[in-house]
Amino acid sequence: MRHLLPLAPQFFVTAPQPCPYLPGRMERKLFTALQGEHAERLNDALSKQGFRRSQNVLYRPSCADCTACLSARVRVADFVPSRGQARILRRNAGLRRRATSPWATEAQFALFRTYLDSRHSDGGMADMDMFEFAAMVEETPVRSRLVEYVDPACGGDHGDNHGGGSDGDGDSRAGLVAVCLTDILDDGLSMVYSFFDPDRERDSLGTYVILDHMRIAREMGLPYVYLGYWVPGSPKMGYKARFGPLEVFAGGQWQDLGDPARFAGAPHPLSVEPVAEQVARITLPDLRPTRG
C-alpha cells in the first residue's frame, strides 16, 4: 500500500534590505508560497498569525534585531467612529461603492500612478508599470475583490451605495476616487492594498475606505478588519492606531493595543526568536488531500 504524506508549506527568509518604515534599520521577511487547493485555508490560518498576502506569497516580518512591525486588526463589533471619523463618513456619503472581481483596468492604474507619484514616489512600488499592477491585482489564489469608490458628481457610474457592491462590466470608470484590493477571510476582511485620489485630501479617502470596510464586515457578519502592519514611530503606518479597539499580533498572540507607547521601544536583539523557532511556532491547518 502506498502512503501519501501531506506536504507542509516550506518557509524561506529574504535577504536583509533597508527598512522602508524606520530609517537606519534593516528588514527581513519570512515567507511561503500560497498555491494549490488549500490556498484559502492556509491564508486564513496564517493571517491569524500575523502574515499578509502579496500575490501568491504569504509573508511576515522576521527582522534580526527589530520587532516593530505588528500585524493589526480592528474588532468590528466594538468599533465606534470618533467625531472626526463620523465627519469623514458624512463628507463621503455620496460616494458609490462597487465590488468587482480582481481584474485590473486602465482607470485603476491611472489612479494608482497618481497616488504613488504623490505619496510614495521613493517607495518600492514607484516604478511599477501596468503589467506589474495587473499582476498585483489579478494574481490571487484566494477569494479577493476589488472595492472601488466612485463619485457620481464627477460622472461616475452608479454602483451600490454602501451595500456591498456587485460585479459589473468595468467599462465605465469616470469619477473613480479610491480602490482597495481586499481578501475575504473566514474571520474578516484583509485590506491588502488601497489607493486613492491624493488631490482630495480634505475628504480623507484613506480613512473613509477603512471605515467603509468596517461597515462591509459588519454587514457580512465578520468580526475583524485586518489593516496590515502597524509600525510605531513610522509616520506612514502610525495612523492605524486611530482605529480602536485595535488588536496587534505580538508575542505570538493577539492583544489589545492599549497604550501605543508600550510598543515604541526597540527590543534587545537577544529577545528576538531565531527563524527556526519562529517557524516551529506556526500553526498550520490540515492540508491533507481531500478524498473524492
Q: What is the DSSP letter of 252?
A: T
Q: Which one has a higher pLDDT value, 11 or 239?
A: 11
- For residue 11, is it within any domain? no
Q: What is the mean pLDDT of residues 250-264?
A: 87
Q: What is the CATH number of the domain that holds 99?
A: 3.40.630
Read off the pLDDT of residues 113-125 as tens digits, 9 standing for 90 and up.
999 988 766 666 7
- For residue 102, is it within any domain? yes
- For residue 143, is it within any domain? yes
Mean pLDDT of the chain: 87
- For residue 219, is it within any domain? yes
**30: buried, middle or exposed (CB in 10 Å: 19+, 13-18, 0-12)?**
buried
- For residue 206, is it within any domain? yes
- For residue 275, is it within any domain? no
Task: Report the candidate in 183, 122, 185, 173 with the shortest Cα–Cα distance to residue 148.
Answer: 173
Q: Which one has a higher pLDDT value, 288 or 199?
A: 199
Q: What type of residue sits at position 37?
A: E
In three-state secondary structure terms, 1 is coil
- For residue 51, is it within any domain? no
Q: How many domains does the chain have?
A: 1
- For residue 120, is it within any domain? yes
- Which triple of cell numbers denotes residue 183? 481578501
Q: CA 239 to CA 41: how far, in whole Å?
A: 30
Q: CA 28 to CA 47: how far, in whole Å?
A: 18
Range of the domain at 222: 75-228
